[in-house]
Structure 1
Amino acid sequence: MDRSKNGVVQGIASAIGQKHREKDDCQKTTLTLEYAVHIKSSEIDSGQWDALLAQSPTATFFQSRAYYSFLETLPFLNPFVYAVSGNGTLKALLCGYVIAEKGLKHYFSRRAIILGGVMMAETADTQALDILLQETVRQLQRKVIYIEIRNSHNYSVLRHIFESKGLKYLPHYNFKIDTHDANLLSQIGKSRIRDERAAISRGASVTENPTDDELSQWYEILKNLYKNRVQKPLFPYEFFEKMRHCAFARFFLVKAEGNVIGGTLCICDTNNCMYEWYACGLDREKYSQYFPSTVATMASIRYATAHEIRVFDMLGAGIPSKEYGVRNFKQHFGGKLVEEGRFLYICNNLLYGIGTCAIKYVSRYSW
């Protein structure tokens, strides 16, 4: 299934959404009674969940049962899944987690993160989305300071529904690569291919089955990156150690001179998409001649191509109005720049202002 068809999403809104926007409030109240809200995974039929994942034009790995089950194994966060069904059929679903830092910082760092966006049935109406967002806010607003939905599809034609529930749209870039494009290699920057070849000729290699020690080395590089440059919280080592045993996870760690010098963690889903979730490399240190970030990303893209995974999602390229070095790096791999954005709901404005500063401080000084 071609995951890049944003036109299907537009069809949902134009063909069905307009119909319900024209109904008066009384009719909407009556219509709501046809729907059922599910706030626990046990309330959602697993067969319908899988079917929606396979058919929805806005499905991603981050709304799958596999992802939710993985989140349940992590003791440092609280997963949630909310869904809406109509006439006994699942219409819309989202999945995420609540997380906070330890100790005194806990109160100021409580947040709900929803990766991928909202998964909607092709026949879904805007009322199902309306109900789902309303229930999501109701369930989470007393538990967290803010709710953030990080979209993997374009919801622009449905933006008014999100905003009607108090969610503010935030522009955010991403790169997506069509690995079935016959011209992909010619679209990848010549310098990237040249650097990859040079690194391999100098002795760099890529391992997809890291040992405990190799994974630990890679995590230290990633942790230093998040502390000194990204300045955002990073999952503890346990997250990555458990990922190593998941069928959907793929590591591409770059080694040179007997050490791990960079690598990526990618996710492969059943919907023909591969996500580059985490990436890092010692490109500015003494291993710069091995171009570890380039080698790792190229290995990931080559894997997706070899396994006929149609879309390689680079999972973020920064805010459009700000210079972003990572965006400059990612733009040379043949991908298409898209703005799918994010939606933010602030539950407490005062705590949000304090909390965002606290998270940046914690990320830099509390390792």
Structure 2
Amino acid sequence: MPIKIVNTLNDLIWRDFIEAQPQANVYHTPEMFQVFSNAEGHQPALWAAIKDDGTLLAMLLPVQVSLQNGSLHAWTTRAVVYGSVLTIQGEDGADGLRFLLREYNTFARGKFLLTELRNQSPIDSIQPVLSECGYAFEEHLNYLVNLDVSEDVLWHGLSKSCRQRVHISIDKGTIVQEVSDSDQLEAAYGKLQSVYQRVHVPLAHISLFKAALDICSPLEMCKVFIASVDNTCIGACFNLIYNGRMHAWYSGSDRAYAAYNPNELLKWHSFLWGKAHGCHTFDFGGAGRPNEAYGPRAFKAKFGGELVNYGRNVCVHSPLRYQISKTIYRVARKISTTSPKPCQPFAKQVNNIFMYLAYNRPNPPFIGITKGNQ
């Protein structure tokens, strides 16, 4: 079967393809491609396998995420396929994916460290093809909350302590409102910044969030909520929406207002908004690896969701550089905790970069009192 690879698609063909695939998610949409295109440090690409008759067989949308330019670019860049691969069903889809990944791997070799596929749904049928093409499966957990139930059932799905925290937050006067302008967005981003700086994990540039607000919010594909007390922003959450699924994207809160429980209230508010607007599922966006401690997992577990393990698939394109990066990470981490203070800022910066990239961690080890970046 003759197959060709293309790197551009007609918008109508693109939309028809994802609408026909049950496993399509928000990260497969042209809108999110535009968001990443407008975000500093992000470089999205489109790879699609097409038959001679024009049938689209498989799609890959890797986003190169870079933390440094110049000579360190290849050492501090990885490609993340946030929505994983998307194929038609059957042998044609598998053949198209196999051909696509082989061509892509040839292109990627030596250009960046690795490519990570973040599986948003079960893809057991194509795991043999992924393994054959060098994409090793890694277990990764997630929580999915069913919103297609009554509000009472949804409420009692929360743990008792979680319900109490929501009540306390409301009683203390915490209010939740939707972000609608740049000033509110900057306040929300500020909450993320303080959390990510505290745990020494790089945060995406604000341009990513501005693009999401500009491009996706008018289409009801992005909702940003902030929790406030006396007109002071104390927490924020960013959600993506597509085809009935509400996806937790980023969130953070101010430690000084931990007693106000903004994180619990923001999640409960997101549930209610999603339910009222036709969403059937709230996707927590990841809960870490099964055999590794991950603080936010306990927070997410309180909301009564189903624990799933769709995993991720990773292909290392530069094995030697990858191993060196891991070594640099270990050394930098040791220096940042044991060296004299003048050496620590530089060591911490190096540590941040290589923890994020070389150790392939999409989620920070612990974000505030709640959850990590998706």
TM over 0.5, shorter chain: yes
Change in Cα spacing, 1:278 to 1:287, as seen in structure 2 (3 Å) is same
- Counterpart CA distance in 2 for 1:50 and 1:236 is 28
Equivalent residue in structure 2 for 1:294, among 257, 264, 270:
264
Q: 2:224 matched to 1:255?
A: no
Letter in 1 for 2:77: R
Q: How many residues are aligned here?
A: 327
Per the alignment, residue 180 of structure 1 pairs with: 148
The 8 Å contact of residues 57 and 121 in structure 1, kept in 2 or not, is answered as no
- Counterpart CA distance in 2 for 1:107 and 1:133 is 20
- CA RMSD for the aligned pairs? 2.1
CA positional deviation for 1:344: 0.8
Greater Cα offset, 292-301 or 44-53: 44-53
CA offsets 1:74-119 (integer angstroms, 9 cap, x no match): 3432210111123311121121211212255433112111101111
Change in Cα spacing, 1:121 to 1:66, as seen in structure 2 (3 Å) is same
- Counterpart CA distance in 2 for 1:355 and 1:306 is 46
Q: How much identity, in percent, do the aligned residues show?
A: 23
Q: 2:95 matched to 1:127?
A: yes
CA positional deviation for 1:210: 4.7
The 8 Å contact of residues 35 and 208 in structure 2, kept in 1 or not, is answered as no
Q: 2:209 matched to 1:240?
A: yes
Unaligned runs of 5+ in 1: 1-30
Map 1:55-94 onto structure 2 (within 5 A): 55-86=20-51, 87-94=53-60
Per the alignment, residue 279 of structure 1 pairs with: 251
What is the SS of the residue equivalent to 1:149? Answer: strand
The 8 Å contact of residues 32 and 212 in structure 2, kept in 1 or not, is answered as no
- Counterpart CA distance in 2 for 1:81 and 1:333 is 36
The 8 Å contact of residues 264 and 277 in structure 1, kept in 2 or not, is answered as yes
- Counterpart CA distance in 1 for 2:74 and 2:54 is 39
Unaligned runs of 5+ in 2: 334-347, 354-374
What is the SS of the residue equivalent to 2:112? Answer: coil
Equivalent residue in structure 2 for 1:169, among 119, 134, 137:
137
- Counterpart CA distance in 1 for 2:225 and 2:171 is 18
What is the SS of the residue equivalent to 1:345? Answer: strand
- Counterpart CA distance in 1 for 2:142 and 2:73 is 30
Map 1:1-20 onto structure 2 (within 5 A): none
Q: 2:279 matched to 1:309?
A: yes
Change in Cα spacing, 1:152 to 1:146, as seen in structure 2 (3 Å) is same
The 8 Å contact of residues 60 and 119 in structure 1, kept in 2 or not, is answered as no
CA offsets 1:298-335 (integer angstroms, 9 cap, x no match): 11111111101111111110010012110110011121
The 8 Å contact of residues 274 and 304 in structure 1, kept in 2 or not, is answered as yes
What is the SS of the residue equivalent to 1:309? Answer: coil
Per the alignment, residue 18 of structure 2 pairs with: 53
TM-score norm. by structure 1 comes to: 0.83
Per the alignment, residue 349 of structure 2 pairs with: 362
TM-score norm. by structure 2 comes to: 0.81
CA positional deviation for 1:254: 0.7
